[in-house]
């Protein structure tokens, strides 16, 4: 099971990395076209660089950014990678910490699942709306619903992840949440020693 999960995470990282590379390449293309647009002779000499062909780059970067953020947060970002304000959480007894973890995980899972229906109803309207410029490269089939559908994926996957977290904490406790503090302390100690050695 753990090996399969590792493959899924690695595949998600690969997809997110490819989307980041595509967004970066599109951004570089956008900057290049923006600065060569001032020189009319370039568009005449090299029709490929005609700025009228690249109106889609801004919308494409925005669509990729939406997908990277929601897809990456649903599949790649770990629980301990989030910024947390956990002074109270780490200072209470293990039984209370376990209750906190279960209650918060269930609340997040239920809240996200309950918001999936109303969200999809709003997306239903977006099925009619075409993107402003992406049809230049992707054709008429793409709609705004397709661009934002990753949010529904995010809601579903994150709610499942937190439901799994509630089940895991119920069976095993929440003491695993504290181990990354020990790792951080060890890394900090090693960094201080390395700095002293220099």
The pLDDT tens digits for 35-94 are 877 777 776 777 777 777 788 888 899 999 999 999 999 999 887 777 777 778 778 888
pLDDT of residue 153: 94
Q: What's the longest Cα–Cα distance across the chain?
A: 73
Residue identified by tokens 């990729």 is 64
In angstroms, the CA 156 to CA 73 distance is 12
What are the C-alpha distances in Å from 68 to residues 12, 75, 105, 181? 10, 10, 24, 28
The mean of the pLDDT values for the chain is 83
Answer with the residue of higher pLDDT: 197 or 94.
94
The pLDDT tens digits for 18-31 are 999 999 999 999 88
Mean pLDDT of 126-149: 80
- Name the residue among 151, 147, 153, 152 with its Cα closest to residue 130: 147
Q: Indicate whether this model's pTM tops 0.95.
A: no
């Amino acid at each position: 099971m753990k090996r399969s999960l590792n493959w899924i995470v690695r595949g998600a990282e690969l997809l997110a990395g490819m989307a980041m590379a595509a967004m970066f390449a599109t951004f570089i293309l956008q900057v290049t076209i923006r600065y060569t647009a001032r020189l009319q002779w370039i568009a005449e000499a090299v029709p490929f660089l005609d700025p009228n062909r690249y109106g889609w780059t801004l919308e494409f970067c925005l669509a990729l950014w939406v997908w990277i953020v929601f897809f990456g947060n649903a599949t790649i970002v770990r629980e301990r990678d989030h910024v947390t304000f956990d002074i109270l959480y780490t200072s209470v007894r293990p039984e209370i910490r376990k209750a906190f973890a279960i209650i918060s995980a269930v609340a997040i899972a239920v809240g996200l699942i309950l918001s999936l229906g109303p969200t999809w109803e709003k997306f239903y309207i977006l099925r009619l709306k075409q993107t402003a410029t992406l049809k230049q490269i992707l054709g008429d089939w793409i709609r705004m619903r397709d661009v934002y559908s990753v949010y529904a994926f995010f809601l579903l996957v994150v709610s499942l992840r937190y439901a799994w977290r509630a089940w895991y904490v119920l069976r095993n406790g929440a003491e695993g949440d504290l181990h990354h503090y020990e790792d951080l302390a060890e890394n900090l100690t090693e960094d201080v020693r390395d700095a002293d050695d220099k």
